[in-house]
Amino acid sequence: MFSVKELVESSTMKSVPSNYICHKTPEDFMLNYETENIPTIDFLQLTSSNPNERSNAIQQLGDACRDWGFFMLINHDVPETLREKMVRVGQSFFDLSKEEKMEFAGEKILDPIRYGTSFNLMVDTALFWRDYLKCLVHPHLNAPSKPPGLRETFEEYSRKGKKVVEELLKGISLSLGLEENYIHKRMNVELGSQVLVINCYPPCPNPELVMGLPAHTDHGLLTLLQQNHLGGLQIQHNGKWIPINPLPKSFLINTGDHMEFLWQILTNGKYKSVIHRAVVNTKGTRISIGTAHGPNLDTIVGPAPELVGDDNPALYRAITYRDYILLQQNNELDKKTCLERIRI
C-alpha cells in the first residue's frame, strides 16, 4: 500500500498521478455559498431543565433532521482541549513510520483497527486523496498502541461523544412524538457500534482533479465530525453542494442511513441521510475526525412486522448492521445511499 502522505512527501510530484484523477461532471463543481440557513442546535438548550427551552430545541432538531439531515452542534460537553488533543494524536499517528502504521493495516473491512488509504482499494476505480485510521471504539475500545497517549485520548473522546449522541437520539425520538428512549432501545444503542475515523488529506497540487472522499452517505444513525483549521466538507442540499465552514468549537452532525431506514420503517421516509463529500486543498494537511454511531453490529434492522401489511408493503429487506456495513464498504461509493441496495 502506498499512502497519499508518502506520495506527497517522497516525490518531487508536480501534478497528480493519473490513478488519482476522478471523473467529474459539471454538477460536481456547482457550489452554493448561501450557507446562512444551515441549522445550528444548542446542546445546552436541548438538555435544559426549562421545558419550554427544551421543547423549542427538540423542534429545531427535528426540523434540521427533516430539512437538512445536517446541523452544527454548539455548547456540547466535549471540551475544546480534548478535541484539539484528538487532532494532535491523530496527526502523530500518521507521522509514524510506514512500518509502524502498517502494523495496524488490518485485512478485512470489519477488523477493529484499520489503517488504510482511499476508500476500499478492492473496488475504487480512481484512488482518493485520503489516508485513514478507523477504530471500532464501542462496545469495546480498539485503538493502536502507538503513538503514546492515543488510546487514552480515543477512550475519553468516544465516551464523551457517545453521551452527546445519546442526548441527540432522545431529542430526535421526542421530535417524532415517540418515547425518548425509543431509538436507543430499538437500535440497541447501549451495545451500539461506534466507529472512529481519522481522515488525513495531505495537500494536493491539483485539488480539482481529485476527491478526498467522494459523495456518500454514512451507514449509522448519527455521525459527529470535527476538523482541524482547514475546511473541505461539502453537503448536498437541494441538488447543490454547500461548502461547510463550521462555527468555532462546534461539531458537524449528520444523519446516516440507519436514521433514514428507521424513518422509512416508521413513517414512510421522513428523514433522509445526507449526501456529503470531502474535497482537498493546496495549502496543508486537513485532518477530520468522524465518529459514526450505529446500532449494535448484530442488531437486525428491518420493517416492524406490526407496521407491514398488504396496504403497506415492506420497502426494504431486514439485514444486520454488520451486513449492511459490509454491503456499503464492499461496493464503490456512487453518490447514492446504500439503502438502494436493500430495497425490495
The contact set with Fe ion (CB under 5 A) reads 218
Chosen from ligand AKG, Fe ion, none, partner binding at 319 (C-beta under 5 to 8 Å by type): none
Question: How remote is the C-alpha of 156 from its chain's centroid?
Answer: 19
Element (H, E) at 160: helix 150-175
Give the chain's count of helices (H) and strands (E): 9, 14
Chosen from Fe ion, ligand AKG, none, partner binding at 28 (C-beta under 5 to 8 Å by type): none
Residue with C-alpha cell 461539531? 251
Is 235 one of the binding residues for ligand AKG (CB under 6 A)?
A: no
Chosen from ligand AKG, Fe ion, none, partner binding at 83 (C-beta under 5 to 8 Å by type): none
Q: Which stretch binds ligand AKG (CB under 6 A): 60-68, 98-106, 225-233, 332-340?
A: 225-233
Chosen from ligand AKG, Fe ion, none, partner binding at 150 (C-beta under 5 to 8 Å by type): none
Is 42 one of the binding residues for ligand AKG (CB under 6 A)?
A: no
Question: Which of 62/232 has CB closer to ligand AKG?
Answer: 232
Looking at residue 244, its amino acid is I
Chosen from ligand AKG, Fe ion, none, partner binding at 250 (C-beta under 5 to 8 Å by type): none
Cβ at position 110, least distance to Fe ion in Å? 17
Taking alpha carbons only, the member of 227, 241, 219 closest to residue 199 is 227
Q: Which of residues 241-300 bind ligand AKG (CB under 6 A)?
A: 276, 278, 288, 290
CA 84 to CA 156: how far, in whole Å? 13
Question: Which of 266/280 has CB closer to ligand AKG?
Answer: 280
The torsion defined by the Cα of 40, 35, 258 and 336, in degrees rounded to 10, comes to: 180
Taking alpha carbons only, the member of 162, 166, 136 closest to residue 297 is 136
Cβ at position 267, least distance to Fe ion in Å? 24
Q: Which stretch binds ligand AKG (CB under 6 A): 119-127, 149-157, 188-196, 224-232?
A: 224-232
What is 240-285 written as a DSSP string? EEEE--PPTTPEEEEE-HHHHHHHHHHHSS---PPPEEE---SSS-
Contact set with ligand AKG (CB under 6 A): 197, 199, 213, 218, 225, 227, 232-233, 276, 278, 288, 290
